[in-house]
Structure formats: C-alpha cells, structure tokens
Amino acid sequence: MTFGISEETVKRHLTNIFNKLGVGNRLELALFALNHNLLPPTSTTDVSR
C-alpha cells in the first residue's frame, strides 16, 4: 500500500514548523537544526565509490 500527501499539505506542515521555531525558510530551519545539535552525526563511510 502506498500513501501520499499533497504538495499543499507539505507546505502547510513546513509553515507550521517554521512558525513554531521562529524561522522563515528551509535554510534557516537547517541552520536552526545545526545550532541546536538536532542532526545525526555524519557518516564516515566513503560513498564516492
């Protein structure tokens, strides 16, 4: 079974997240995550092969 959501639903969810965190766009959201240590550690696996 496949589930899907519309583009408008994604936009609405992002807008709600932006408002709750006090950011204005995806870049600011990414910076917020970096500044608050919300991202998983980076992998040291070489994926260039």
| Confidence (pLDDT) at 2 | 85
**For the chain, what are the domain ranges?**
9-36
| Confidence (pLDDT) at 20 | 98
Tokens describing residue 34: 């970096």
Tell me how far apart the alpha carbons of residues 33 and 15 are, in angstroms, rounded to a whole number: 16
pLDDT beyond 80 at 14 = yes
Tell me how far apart the alpha carbons of residues 6 and 17 are, in angstroms, rounded to a whole number: 17
CA-CA-CA-CA dihedral for 47, 29, 21, 43, to nearest 10: 20
> pLDDT digit string (tens) for 31-49?
999 999 999 888 666 666 5
| Confidence (pLDDT) at 11 | 96
How large a percentage of the chain has pLDDT more than 90? 71
